[in-house]
Amino acid sequence: MSRKNFNRKYGYNSVMSNWDSAWGNNVAYMHYYYFMKELAINMYKWDDLPPEVDPRFLEMILFEDGYGVFFQDETIGNVFLQAMIGGQLNLYRIPIMRTAYSVNGYQKQLDIENSVLIFANYLHTTMHVSIDMFARKLYNLSRTIDININGQKTPLLLACDEAKKMTVKNLYMQYDGNEPVIYSYKGVTKDDIQCIKTDVPFVADKLEIEKQKIWNEAMMFLGINNTNMEKKERMVSDEANGNLEQIMMSRQIGLNARRQACDEINNMFGLSVSVRYNDELQKIYDKMFDETDMQNELMKEGEEIE
């Protein structure tokens, strides 16, 4: 969404500082949500999936809806699509009837004899809810840190008459924008504005620690090993092993449901589809923080980093 459209939709068209605050909140939330969603839909790697089936679309639907349907179309071939489920259940509470559909208008009535439902987990729920929760917590802490840091820059409370409120806001915008000279208006004197120091305490460092805890929890939920983000002197072997066990179990949550679907697909359609955790994602994640740790060590030793 562009700034102009966002401004029009949410009504932030009077004071730039208010609009910037709303825009910053929206961007911060989207940053964390989309990044964790990208991690989530890249968690698993499908092998020997028919070329007609898009693994990206498959994982995106599992993330957003919690399930989708795999079947064979007489014209297209093997297909995975979104599905509407309902009606009678079998012995294991799996819907017997399901309707595959696409945004282009394609629909096909299916049942338990000619299609396989792929679920995101054994609870048949979507990951969207959890990722949304983590994104909201991270965005809230991130924006609170911004406010606290900004409070160190402008620990001021401005008081004035209602008639000169807009004038004072415009003057503050110059101050907040690092203008070398602040230009006032004719008729505005120092007696018209009262400046009160707020003396905001600096707590951004403590908030950053809390944000890191939430991030670590989110990474554990996604099955990403984040032990290398903790300082080595704070980690003991029992803590590291316990963390690793939780991470491995997190990976199995989605992997088991997908493997069950693979077995059913292979039995029904004579394929050899399989799925595994995408270890390339972990390697990229580890490399990113290994390089950061190396740079930190070099800086401690006083060496120049090129």
pLDDT along the chain (306 residues), means of 10: 55 51 88 96 95 96 97 95 93 95 96 97 95 96 89 72 77 73 68 72 92 93 72 53 79 95 97 92 61 48 45
Strand order in the sheet with 77-89: 107-111, 95-101, 77-89, 67-73, 115-119
Do you know the residue count of the chain?
A: 306
What tokens appear for 73 in the block? Answer: 């179309």
Q: Per DSSP, which regions of the chain are E strands?
A: 44-47, 67-73, 77-89, 95-101, 107-111, 115-119, 156-159, 194-197, 274-277
Per-residue model confidence (pLDDT) at position 149: 87
Per-residue model confidence (pLDDT) at position 108: 96
Question: 3-state SS of the chain: helix, strand, coil percent to 5?
Answer: 55, 15, 30
What span, in angstroms and rounded, lies between the C-alpha atoms of 84 and 68?
Answer: 9
What span, in angstroms and rounded, lies between the C-alpha atoms of 8 and 29?
Answer: 19
| DSSP-derived 3-state class of residue 178 | coil
Per-residue model confidence (pLDDT) at position 23: 85
